[in-house]
Amino acid sequence: MDSPANPTALPMPLSNLTPEEQILQETVRRFARNKIAPLVREMDEAQKMSPAIISQLFELGLMGIEIPEEYGGVGGSFFNSILAVEEISAVDPAIGVLVDVQNTLTVNALLRWGNEDQKQRYLPRMATDTVCSYALSEAGSGSDAFALATTARLDSEDYILNGRKLWISNAAEASLFIVFATVNPGAGYKGITAFLVERSMTGFSVGKKEDKLGIRASSTCELLLDDCRVPAANVLGEVGKGYKIAIETLNEGRIGIAAQLLGLATGAWTHAVRYSQERQQFGKPIAEFQAVQFALADMATEVEASRLMVYNTARRKQSGLPFLKEAAMTKYFVSQVAERVASKAVEIFGGYGFVKDYPVEKLYRDAKIGAIYEGTSNMQLATIAKQIL
């Protein structure tokens, strides 16, 4: 079996990283290869993430990278989160999305819109042992993200939530959820409000787990809210301002998804390079054939272009510069690159690329979701067009 744990092809050089970022990158890379890689196939086939891996992610501080030290976190940067997601996803994009959602969506949302009481209650838990999930999508609310049917009604000191959420990543592992509901269906997007919902709250349950094509170890479930009672103190931000939280966190989250897909493409390219040097045909390694060389060169060029886009957009976000257009461009472009590179890796492996004994088959399956979640490719194109016109 071609194990993803010890690729002989060197990773592509990464420019403009500080010494601290290089240390983080190498630490996460070693962890992914030594601890995650041996369990990738087992987790994929079982459609279940290893609890031991989740615990180790917390122990390394990778689930609370931007959480300030005063709340028990690492006190790192957004760019640190992007590096971590990239390196983990080069081995298993399913684990990459767990780290991504935790850091770029939920932690970011709490840091930006949470009040001090909410930060004191939840950030220390999210830094140490609590997976948090982001619940926006519904059956009739996908690309039209604000066509929400889930309602929230104020009852004394609590809100009563009713509705059903679909396609919620990390739901099986999560103990805390950021749930979007409308307090006034007639107000359109101005009625949308974000709530911090704990798994143990009355009327809340996690429903069906989806049987997916790729990133199978990453849980994707429905959420059921049946007169779910949530304290008014758990409103995140302001009542009626949930649309702003959703839009802005998803803009940041798209950079994280692009980092996941960048890692996936890098992993597929690395496996293809190594295999091309090992596989013999007509008395020599297939890497000596020009057709294979050109394929690898084309893959390498697209991966490096993707890396530059991801890093540039992450730096812009971290520096407080506008990044909406860049995030949409990056997510759109890198999702295409991930599919193309993973597909070419399967072809370079030939028949072996089509079987589960080798890692590129899984990476090929994992790549498809990149064009769908956290904004479809068409929605990214619409955003780009709006920004440039």
**For residues 33-40, average pLDDT:** 98
CATH 1.10.540.10 in the chain, residue ranges: 19-131
**Which band of pLDDT confidence, cut at 50, 70 and 90, is reported for residue 16?**
confident
pLDDT the model gives residue 10: 44
Give the model's pLDDT for residue 4. 43
- 138-193 confidence digits (pLDDT tens): 999 888 878 899 999 999 999 999 999 999 999 999 999 999 999 999 999 999 99
Give me the helix-helix angle, 78-89 and 19-31, nearest 10°: 30
To the nearest 10°, report the CA torsion of 72, 78, 80, 84.
90
Burial code (b: 16+ CB inside 10 Å, e: under 16) for 155-194 equals eeebbbbbbebbbbbbbbbbebbbbbbbbeeeeebebbbb
Q: Can you read off the two tokens belonging to residue 20?
A: 């601290």
DSSP state for residue 106 in the 8-state scheme: I
> Which one is catalytic: 87, 138, 173, 374?
374
Q: Where exactly does CATH 1.20.140.10 map onto the chain?
A: 244-388
Superfamily of domain 133-242: Butyryl-CoA Dehydrogenase, subunit A, domain 2 (2.40.110.10)
Model confidence at 303: pLDDT above 50 = yes
Residues of the chain with CATH 2.40.110.10: 133-242
Q: Where are the beta strands (DSSP E) in the chain?
A: 132-135, 151-155, 158-169, 176-182, 192-198, 204-209, 220-231, 235-236, 280-281, 284-285
Cα angle: 114, vertex 117, 119; to 5 degrees = 50
pLDDT of the residue at 295: 98
What letter represents residue 105's amino acid? Answer: L
What token pair was written down for 200?
Answer: 């143990």
Span 362-389, average pLDDT? 97
Q: Which residues pair with 178 in a beta bridge?
A: 134, 196
Residues paired with residue 223 on neighbouring β-strands, in sequence order: 165, 206
pLDDT at 179: 98
Task: Specify the pLDDT at position 33.
Answer: 97
Using CA atoms, how far apart are residues 344 and 188, in angstroms rounded to an integer? 45
Residue 11 has pLDDT above 90, yes or no: no
Sequence-distant (≥ 6) Cβ neighbours of residue 55 within 8 angstroms: 129
Amino acid (1-letter code) at residue 65: I
Supply the pLDDT for residue 144.
Answer: 85
Cα–Cα distance, 265 to 160 (Å, whole number) = 44
DSSP sequence for 286-311: GGGSHHHHHHHHHHHHHHHHHHHHHH
Q: What is the pLDDT of residue 15?
A: 56
| CA atoms of 276 and 260, how far apart (whole Å) | 24
Convert 245-281 into a string of H (helix), E (strand) and C (coil): HHHHHHHHHHHHHHHHHHHHHHHHHHHHHHHHHHCEE
Classify burial at 362, counting beta carbons within 10 Å of its beta carbon; exposed 0-12, middle 13-18, buried 19 or more. Answer: buried
pLDDT band at residue 310, thresholds of 50, 70 and 90? very high
The CATH topology of domain 244-388 is Butyryl-CoA Dehydrogenase, subunit A; domain 3 (1.20.140)
Is residue 8 very low, low, confident or very high in pLDDT (cuts 50, 70, 90)?
A: very low
Tally Cβ neighbours within 10 Å of residue 352.
Answer: 16
HSE-up of residue 368 (Cα within 13 Å, Cβ side): 9
pLDDT in the model for residue 90? 98
Alpha carbon distance 237, 235 (integer Å)? 6
pLDDT recorded at residue 152: 98
* Phi (first) and psi of residue 6, to 5 degrees: -135, 65
CB atoms < 10 A from the CB of 283, how many? Answer: 6
52-109 pLDDT, tens per residue?
999 999 999 999 999 999 999 999 999 999 999 999 999 999 999 999 999 999 999 9
pLDDT tens string 203-245 = 999 999 999 999 999 999 999 999 999 999 999 999 999 999 9
Q: What rounded mean pLDDT belongs to the chain?
A: 95
Is 19-131 in CATH node 2.60.40.1760? Answer: no
- Mean pLDDT of the region 312-326: 97
Instruction: Please give the Cα distance from 166 to 346 (Å, whole number).
Output: 32
Active site residue 374: yes
Q: Nearest-5° angle of CA 287, CA 291, CA 293?
A: 45
DSSP 12: P
Query: Which residue's structure tokens are 């459609």?
Result: 47
Secondary structure in 3-state letters for 309-335: HHHHHHHHHHCCCCCHHHHHHHHHHHH
